[in-house]
């Protein structure tokens, strides 16, 4: 991601990884943004464009995002884009030496 008025400085990234074809047609979503650029719409816009590519070009059926419950800004991004909560993944990832729960957020492509 770049700022709209300065494409010389990277301010964040969006990644769609663990792409599985066959019967699953799914991937995981990850993103990060410079702390000084939060709440300016960059992540929402970038993820929205990425979703369009994954659903329309790659014909995936499902995008999954696992987010720590305390990460309210990240939850806000996916909720604005239509992701729904499929539940808690308990002790999902070990972060800074501690197993952290994550909320399993999902977006389905009803056209596939």
Q: Which residue ranges make up each domain of the chain?
A: 2-108
β-bridge partners, 102: 89
Classify domain 2-108 by CATH number.
3.40.630.30
Spatial neighbors of 27 by CB under 8 A, at least 6 apart, are: 16, 17, 18, 19, 20, 54, 60, 62, 63, 64
Q: What percent of the chain has pLDDT over 90?
A: 95
Q: What pLDDT was estimated at residue 25?
A: 96
Mean pLDDT across 31-57: 96
Residue 32 has pLDDT above 90, yes or no: yes
pTM of the complete model: 0.92
């Amino acid at each position: 991601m770049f700022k709209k008025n300065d494409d010389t400085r990277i301010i964040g990234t969006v990644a769609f990884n663990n792409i599985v074809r066959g019967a699953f047609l799914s991937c995981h979503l990850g993103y990060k943004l410079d702390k000084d650029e939060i709440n300016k719409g960059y992540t929402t816009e970038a993820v929205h464009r990425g979703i369009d590519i994954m659903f329309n070009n790659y014909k995936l059926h499902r995008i999954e995002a696992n987010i720590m419950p305390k990460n309210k800004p990240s939850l806000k991004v996916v909720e604005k884009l239509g992701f729904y909560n499929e539940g808690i993944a308990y002790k999902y990832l070990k972060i800074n030496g501690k197993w952290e729960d994550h909320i399993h957020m999902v977006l389905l492509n009803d056209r596939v």
